[in-house]
Structure 1
């Protein structure tokens, strides 16, 4: 076979396929049909050129062209970095925005319970006896509470609190499937612990130390727990009241975005863990410590209410979008 004659006879097909591949995002229906037909035809040409063994360079070029055409025809996935970017700029913030009232109410209820317990302990000193002996309580408020943030190296402490907080958030989110009850229990326990610590510190005149050490990391950390709890309660409520959707379908449509929230919160809790490990106990200027925590919280809320609101209004729900399993054709 004269390969030069064969290449000249089919060069127009190869050039046209190359042109269509380059314009993949602007093809009409008729051009998509043409691309599929040319892909099949050029695949045959590639087999002929390979079998002749006369021109390895031409065979290599045709192989690349066919591979690129195949990716267009079959709908190849975008690069992984684009998926990650889309997740953090659209999917994750859109779910947070869509379910915002669930975690806002979770935050309001938790903080109300914690505040009530703290006020009760301050106004009823005898309740401090439940924490331990007077010596144990005094050691806690004068030494143990503050020392907790500096008794371990920053890196290991950050990893420890990250793991612990991720576990609490995971419990609050996953256990919501059981009709909300376990999630409410996790929230209540977390709020009770916060309220008891605050009550003990304020009752002994150490309220400034308490706030100065809790606010830097606690704002973002507690927000992450509230988000997980809100999403968990939404899952549980979906089982109780699925609306017009079949219960299994409704649960699936809420569970898939919940997975996105769980993945996103890993990063949020990582940031709060870094603040707790390297800022809370080690930055000795109180206003700077608190300022870092407030900045982190403002950035997170701004992230939800800008990117999240925009993505949600564009129709993003956080659910999995299936790609078409066949190539589009005209008509």
Structure 2
């Protein structure tokens, strides 16, 4: 190995590590960068030791590693700053990057639901296929099970129950996505239940009641499930086609993104659960209840396609700049590289 050329290629990364190690306070992103550079430089030092280069180069790098190790072990994370960064950067950026998958899931899901809602009314074949009894008045009539479902429990208990149930559904769709078929089955069953319910309510001439009870919480709730299902299927597809990275590395990266999305969706589903527990059964006029649901849905989409898009683009630019800086030649040889005092 040409030691001078090796040092020439990695000098800027070593200087960056030294800069981070000397700072008194680091942001979350800088802490992650410090750890990554420390691990990479440790491997590089081990490789250089085999080549027996000049002692000055190894001594300088050893000093940087010692300083970096002290910074890593002695650093304290500002918990509130990390939470704020998660909410404003990491979660919306992860959802934005997975947008093609979850928008595709949304299109297929809503298409299946609409198809079932059109097929079920007046179709004996549909009733036989899905085991629907001939008399469904106990569910579709005014005051039937479709409506009382939202008001038969205290609001706070019902909201907590809905949040827990939806969180399990979203987590199942996300993490079973690695196997693809279980996630597809789970999404299809949800589309089936929603489509059949819509069809039966349409047959009873009560679509206004159906949308009045479903839309306030359902828009945000279904969007969260779409995001979970899309991110899960993306994780499963990475197992099949990891792209230019190794399969292990690609899965690790996608798995971290999936975990970020799962954590963030718990907050989104909490909001939809509160709407379902307190707004949907409130007795307010349908336009007001639906309007609250629309505001929640539009707010989430603006959050993802505004701050989420900006955060994802900024991160991509940082990665591109870091890659080009590492590979760019500077003309400094290994013997010229020194750690500043």
State the TM bucket, normalised to the shorter chain. 0.7 to 0.9
Deviation of 1:131 after TM superposition, in Å, equals: 4.8
Q: Name the CA distance, whole Å, in 2 between partners of 1:150 and 1:71.
A: 58
Q: Which residue of structure 1 aligns with residue 176 of structure 2?
A: 175
Q: Which residue of structure 1 aligns with residue 159 of structure 2?
A: 158
CA contact (8 A) 1:102 1:231 kept: yes
From the superposition, tell whether residues 24 and 182 of structure 1 become closer, same or farther in structure 2 (CA, over 3 Å): same
SS at match of 2:121: helix
Deviation of 1:154 after TM superposition, in Å, equals: 0.3
SS at match of 2:303: helix
Asked whether 1:296 is paired with 2:296, we answer yes
Q: Which residue of structure 2 aligns with residue 187 of structure 1?
A: 187
SS at match of 2:242: coil
CA contact (8 A) 1:125 1:203 kept: no
User: Which is higher, the Rg of structure 1 or of structure 2?
Assistant: 1
Q: Name the CA distance, whole Å, in 2 between partners of 1:132 and 1:205.
A: 17
Q: Which residue of structure 2 aligns with residue 258 of structure 1?
A: 258
SS at match of 1:281: coil
Q: Which residue of structure 2 aligns with residue 243 of structure 1?
A: 243
The number of residue pairs the alignment matches comes to 256
Q: Which residue of structure 1 aligns with residue 37 of structure 2?
A: none
From the superposition, tell whether residues 87 and 204 of structure 1 become closer, same or farther in structure 2 (CA, over 3 Å): same
TM-score scaled by length of structure 2: 0.70
CA contact (8 A) 1:91 1:316 kept: no
Any gaps of 5 or more consecutive residues in structure 1? 1-22, 27-69, 320-327
Q: CA RMSD in A?
A: 2.5
Deviation of 1:104 after TM superposition, in Å, equals: 0.3
Deviation of 1:257 after TM superposition, in Å, equals: 1.0
From the superposition, tell whether residues 329 and 184 of structure 1 become closer, same or farther in structure 2 (CA, over 3 Å): farther
Q: Name the CA distance, whole Å, in 1 between partners of 2:76 and 2:105.
A: 38
Q: Which residue of structure 1 aligns with residue 268 of structure 2?
A: 268
Asked whether 1:98 is paired with 2:97, we answer yes
Q: Name the CA distance, whole Å, in 2 between partners of 1:257 and 1:177.
A: 13
TM-score scaled by length of structure 1: 0.72
Deviation of 1:133 after TM superposition, in Å, equals: 3.4
Q: Name the CA distance, whole Å, in 1 between partners of 2:73 and 2:134.
A: 72
Q: Name the CA distance, whole Å, in 2 between partners of 1:153 and 1:101.
A: 39
Alignment of 1:1-331 (within 5 A): 24=24, 76-124=75-123, 127-128=126-127, 130-135=130-135, 137-142=136-141, 143-178=144-179, 180-315=180-315, 330=340
